[in-house]
Amino acid sequence: MNAIVVSTNLAVPRPDPGGAPRVSGIDKQPEPFIDVFTPGPSYGDGPGVVGDTVGDTQHHGGAQKAVYAFAREELDHWEERLGRGLPDGSFGENLTTQGVDLAGLLINQRVRIGDAELEVSIPRQPCRTFAGWLQEKGWVRTFSERGRCGAYFRVVVPGRISAGDEIVLFDAPAHDITMLTAFRGAQGDKEAAARIVEAGCLPPMYHERMVTLVGTTPGADG
């Protein structure tokens, strides 16, 4: 099976389901296509998808979280486990994918989708908004234990992505840090964090978090 985008999704703004006094863009609904671009570098600089919504500007938006993808196979897993329907876009993803193991993608792996080029950037961290949206008791822990968090992408070449577009992988980066490993590190796994630090593959802010976790400083001996 070819790796494809089965659905492209945009936010329908609504009150934050986690109870914060702001709107949320977690409710994503299918559209025929999305146009992606590179937003500013920082949280609060908006999404990388034209017409999308970022509500939590302290933790979302910016170049490293420009586009979010989640696998249809994982939605199917959660449908069975939770006993409920989960249409494309249910986990707040801009791209619902099929035929590609997002957890196994290497950090900084470049892909072409439609006429856009993206790079795998950082893992998603499940939050109160996500938990409020799913309305499942203990959801943050349950989702985290699964470990398949989807993938954020940065936009390298702006363009249009349509439902049905193939996902084409370029040459792999010269390290072995997958999205799953990056997620484990972000969740506090010191062994994963040490591997991430050694690879030096994350953007500076996220790299420094891993350095702090393993209790080292850049350039330190031992």
The answer, yes or no, to whether residue 216 has pLDDT greater than 60, is no
pLDDT digits (tens, 9 = 90+) for 89-123: 999 999 999 999 999 999 999 999 999 999 999 99
Give the pLDDT confidence score for residue 159 in this predicted structure. Answer: 98
**Which tokens go with 166?**
């193939």
The answer, yes or no, to whether residue 222 has pLDDT greater than 50, is no
pLDDT digits (tens, 9 = 90+) for 26-79: 999 999 999 999 999 999 899 999 999 998 888 899 999 999 999 999 999 999
Give the pLDDT confidence score for residue 219 in this predicted structure. Answer: 47
pLDDT digits (tens, 9 = 90+) for 197-208: 999 999 999 999
- Categorize the per-residue pLDDT at 150 as very low, low, confident or very high, splitting at 50, 70 and 90: very high
Q: Which CATH superfamily is domain 4-180 in?
A: PK beta-barrel domain-like (2.40.33.20)
Strand segments (E) across 32-176: 33-36, 67-71, 95-98, 110-113, 116-120, 151-157, 159-162, 167-169
Residue with tokens 């390298």: 156
Give the pLDDT confidence score for residue 221 in this predicted structure. Answer: 40
The answer, yes or no, to whether residue 220 has pLDDT greater than 90, is no
Say what the pTM is.
Answer: 0.94
What mean pLDDT is reported for the chain? 95
201: number of Cβ within 10 Å: 21
CA distance 25 to 172: 32
- Categorize the per-residue pLDDT at 217 as very low, low, confident or very high, splitting at 50, 70 and 90: low
Q: What percent of the chain has pLDDT over 70?
A: 97
Residues 6+ apart with CB under 8 A from 217: 211
The answer, yes or no, to whether residue 180 has pLDDT greater than 70, is yes
Helices 204-214 and 190-199, interaxial angle, to 10°? 130
Strands 95-98 and 151-157: unpaired
